[in-house]
Structure 1
Amino acid sequence: MLIRPFDAIRDDSEWQDWLAAHDFGQLVVNGRPGEAPYAQPTHFLYDASRGEVVTHLARPNPLWPALEANPDVLLSVVDDHVFVPGPWQAAADIPPEHGEPTSFYAAVQLRCTAHVMDDPAEKAELLNRQVGHFQPEGGTARVAAGEEPFSRKLAALRGLRLEVTEVRAKFKYAGKRSGQVRERIADELARRDGPRDDVARAHLLRRHGAGGAAGPA
């Protein structure tokens, strides 16, 4: 992922706060020789205090042999994306039709070392952590190895603990545009009011302000 200086994070809290509200992404695993990489959509729990991600997948998933051969994986999370028409981005000294269309988006990529978990007690603890995150209101029985109603189902899945070794994050929201152009884009996003336009506009204003100084060229 290309990260230009004007799209880079300001500090770690920026991506950590964003990721705390995003818990679905793509787990990318290197394919074995002659195979394409595997990209597995999955819910996950990122635990900043432990520097790890936990998730689980079905035992028949075809990615297991490739993951065990090479545990260096990538978890990719992308959201808050919108299309920005070219005229919105045109500088004041060029015709609107010469403006360049682009995409705005937020993206975090966690490079991790994967640790497969097959011990029933460890898998039960992992599942309870995930359920506690996604379903804090309760309503589902706790998972315990050797106890019903979920004990026998533990054998049908494998747990994954992903030890985070590197983070790359990007917030692409008109960072290189002038304050005048950013103000126009903010106004147009508010006027269009399409899916994700409000959150994209919030990112633009949070990072740059509608009429702030021009970013780097």
Structure 2
Amino acid sequence: MYIPKYYKVTDLEEIKEFIQKNSFGTIVTTRKGRPIATHLPVGFSEKDGDYYVTGHMAYGNPQWRTFEENEDVLVMFQGPHAYISSSWYEHENVPTWNYQAVHAYGAASILDEEALKQELSEMLLKYEKHRENPVLWEKLSPQLLEKELKGIIGFKIKIREVQAAYKMSQNRNEKDYVNIVQKLQEEKDINSHQMAEVMKKKL
């Protein structure tokens, strides 16, 4: 990913928090020279100093069969993004687009059944624990789980490289920056509002 120096993020803790918050990722591999992608929720964890992205996809999805032949698997994570009008600047310029994105590269492998069950249990806990009637692994019937497990494949990706870009008007002066945040808040677009909230934290 091309990242101008203004927008490059290297703080690992900040990147980890971003991935956890924006965990609906896009997995990219190649098959016979052609890129293929799957969009799905994934987990992110650390073990013995190494970082892993874990998840599952439908057995019928051909992408998991490419994991072995792809030395590198790319997982992309995206945060808020928004159009930035140059009318919001003090001086003449061209419009642009603000965004947050993280790319993680690593080697993928298939999970065995027990590891897949653990991955599914952790994902349910993450997204269900705060709900009034949480659907947790231990509450589901063995018959249903056995049926569903036959239709999916679990995977893990051992991360070897992470690239992060937060393009959030860091190259603008303080007056422009504050005005951009204000203008984004006035837009009738949820993405603009989300970007404004992220940028406000940098003030």
TM-score (norm. length: structure 1):
0.81
Partner of 1:105: 99
Partner of 2:84: 84
Aligned match for 2:38, one of 37, 40, 49: 40
CA distance in 1, matches of 2:136, 2:10: 40
Partner of 1:150: 145
Partner of 2:121: 128
Partner of 2:168: 173
Shift of 1:196: 2.4
CA distance in 2, matches of 1:153, 1:199: 35
Shift of 1:201: 1.8
CA distance in 1, matches of 2:201, 2:10: 11
One-letter amino acid matched to 2:37: A
**Structure 1 residue 164 corresponds to structure 2 residue 159:** yes
CA distance in 1, matches of 2:185, 2:156: 41
CA distance in 1, matches of 2:29, 2:105: 11
Q: Secondary structure at the match of 2:138?
A: coil
CA distance in 2, matches of 1:187, 1:64: 44
One-letter amino acid matched to 1:116: I
The Cα RMSD (Å) is 2.2
CA distance in 2, matches of 1:72, 1:143: 37
- Return closer, same or farther for 1:183/1:4 CA change in 2, 3 Å cut-off: same
TM-score (norm. length: structure 2):
0.86
Q: Secondary structure at the match of 1:68?
A: coil
Give the number of aligned pairs.
Answer: 197
Shift of 1:132: 1.7
Offset from partner CA, 1:173-216 (integer Å, 9 cap, x none): 11111222212212211222531223312332333x2xxxxxxx
One-letter amino acid matched to 2:135: G
Larger RCO (CA under 8 A, 6+ residues apart): 2
Alignment of 1:193-204 (within 5 A): 194-204=189-199
CA distance in 2, matches of 1:156, 1:122: 16
CA distance in 2, matches of 1:32, 1:170: 30
Gaps of 5+ in 2: none
One-letter amino acid matched to 1:182: Y
One-letter amino acid matched to 1:104: N
CA distance in 1, matches of 2:60, 2:102: 28
C-alpha contact (below 8 Å) 1:125/1:143 kept by paired residues: no
Gaps of 5+ in 1: 210-217
C-alpha contact (below 8 Å) 1:45/1:133 kept by paired residues: no
